[in-house]
Amino acid sequence: MKKRIFAVACAALLLTACGAKSENASESASDSTFETESSKIITDDVFEAASFESAQSSDGAFSEYNLELKGAKENYMAIIRRGEFDDEISVTLENNQYQSSSFVITAPSGYEPFFPYTQAQASTIVNVISNDITDDYIPDIIQFTFYVTQEEIDKGSDLSYSVSRMYTIDENGELREITIKADDSEGADTEKDISDILDQVHLYHTEPDKFIYEMVVDDTNVYDENGELKPIGDRVTLKTLTFDYSVPCFVAGEAEISEDDPLYFGYAYWAAANTEAQYFIMTTFNITDWENYVEKTNDATGSSEYYFKIADSRFKSVDDLLPYLENVFTASTAERIFNDAPQKYCDIDGSLYGIAGDGGMDFTLGTLTFTDVEVSSDRMIFRSRQEKYTEDGDPAGYTDGGNFVITKQPDGSWRVSQYRYPYSNN
């Protein structure tokens, strides 16, 4: 009996321009050309009988990975292996009628596929993004990651360290690369250069067919001409991808940020909170002069601490830091973040100084996404889950991401009243 294994892993999103072609070995079928290199053969033979049995052993070097994938029309069993050449990935799909199709995916120029070292790590060869938000039928998104070759590194290439390509299975059982389109001013789809969406490392699954791929926060120009704090929608941009699997493509756009749409309203405040909190947990404000510093003794530990001058015109002294946090956080939450922060600041000779360093990043934690929201007249509570990884970097399911809470203030504005920095050891 064939074992049927289902594997789901959430993906970080890195996209690049690359190519595939598909060709049907059946005499009655015509050739199709895609942007990535891929060859396809359909047979009526039963899928390799021992394949699903043999690949389950975790001993030895990586040989293949078996999983179940949801296509646009039906489910498929898949086997992923090394291709014939070093720059190839072989993917074999079997449908419910036991017909199998084979595809070869070729790495972009200058890159090579990622293959795990051992069979025990076989699941890391691919990321599968499934709709686990609702019961709506959405086909899986399949992501392969490619890394720059040693040859490119040796010659000083400026290629990105890694890139990814996204695929889905269409109604005809074809493994199709997902392209990217953008809405023009009249609402029509236009081709979008994939290079415009490179190096996006977090993909936030917000709706069954929709993702946030980038959160842009402007924390330098937060007040209008009257000195009033700008609405959060004027300070944060949420860049989105909507999955249209009939094409298949992602349609790039931007989310509307308003109280009427609590989900994206909450993500906007969360993005702003992360941007401000990072300077008290993970890094300092800008430092340009690393040669001159002031050594101070920590009264509690007796150890030396080295302070560098902060090169940011917004901040003249420590007194400017709490108002900065209070642009996003309630006064009490801002004070807690400031007082508990491992990142310390002080005034020296009339200027703001800070300790270079960070509070430590927890590399076993991945992308945090909201799972539901509770809305009342003066409060929005967002519950979340966060990807969890082993010390070796293998997916290990999810952990509770905690509650993120924004509270309406007496003047009608909103502030973050409950928060944790998502990637810190603290």
Domain spans in the chain, listed from the N-terminal domain onward: 20-177, 284-355
290: burial class by Cβ within 10 Å (0-12, 13-18, 19+)?
exposed
User: Which residue, 318, 239, 276, 267, is CA-closest to 421?
Assistant: 276
Mean pLDDT over the full length of the chain: 83
**What number is the average pLDDT over the span 211-238?**
93
Query: Is it the case that residue 218 has pLDDT exceeding 60?
Result: yes
Q: What pLDDT score does 305 carry? A: 87
Q: How far apart are CA 343 and CA 421, in angstroms?
A: 13
The structure's pTM equals 0.79
Nearest Cα residue to 66 out of 112, 13, 128: 128
Closest residue by Cα to residue 129 from 181, 76, 69, 177: 69
Distance CA(95)–CA(104), nearest Å, equals: 18
Between 366 and 238, residue with greater pLDDT = 238
The string of pLDDT tens digits covering residues 347-401 is 999 999 998 876 677 888 988 999 999 999 999 999 999 999 888 777 788 999 9
Residue predicted with more confidence, 325 or 391: 325
Mean pLDDT within 253-282: 95
Q: Average pLDDT of 112-132?
A: 91
43-57, 146-160, 262-276, 354-368, range with greatest mean pLDDT: 262-276
**Distance between CA 91 and CA 362 in Å, rounded?**
34
DSSP state string for 200-259: ----EEEETTEEEEEEEE--S--B-TTSPBPPHHHHEEEEEEEEETTTTEEEEEE---ST
Higher pLDDT among residues 393 and 244, named by residue: 244
**Which tokens belong to 40?**
């396809």
Q: Each residue of 154-202: pLDDT tens digit?
A: 999 988 888 888 999 999 999 999 988 876 545 445 555 554 554 444 6
Is the pLDDT confidence value at 321 over 70? Answer: yes
Q: What percent of the chain has pLDDT over 70?
A: 81
- Rounded Cα distance between 140 and 119, Å, is 23
Q: For residue 75, name the pLDDT band (cuts at 50, 70, 90).
A: very high
Q: Residue 57 has what pLDDT?
A: 54
pLDDT of 324 higher than 90: yes
pLDDT for position 424: 77
- Tell me the C-alpha distance between 247 and 166, whole Å: 13
Find out whether 423 and 362 touch, Cβ atoms under 8 Å: yes
CA distance 227 to 327: 12
Q: How far is CA 117 from CA 10, 125, 394, in A?
A: 21, 10, 12
CA 244 to chain CA centroid, nearest Å: 19
What would the mean pLDDT of 256-263 be, rounded to a whole number?
Answer: 96
Q: What is the pLDDT of residues 342-354, one digit of tens each?
A: 778 999 999 999 9
Q: Does the structure show a pLDDT above 90 at 42? A: no
- CA–CA gap between residue 119 and residue 126 (Å, rounded): 13
| pLDDT-wise least confident of 125-129, 223-227, 323-327, 353-357 | 353-357
- Give the Cα separation of 257 and 365 in Å (integer): 27
CA distances from 287 to 13, 48, 181, 290, 364 (A): 30, 60, 39, 7, 29
Contacts with 275 (C-beta within 8 Å, 6 or more apart), sequence order = 217, 219
Kindly report the number of other CB atoms within 10 A of residue 207's CB atom. Answer: 18
Mean pLDDT of 305-316: 93
Mean pLDDT (whole number) for 223-227: 90
Considering 194-208, 282-296, 354-368, 398-412, the range whose residues carry the highest mean pLDDT is 398-412
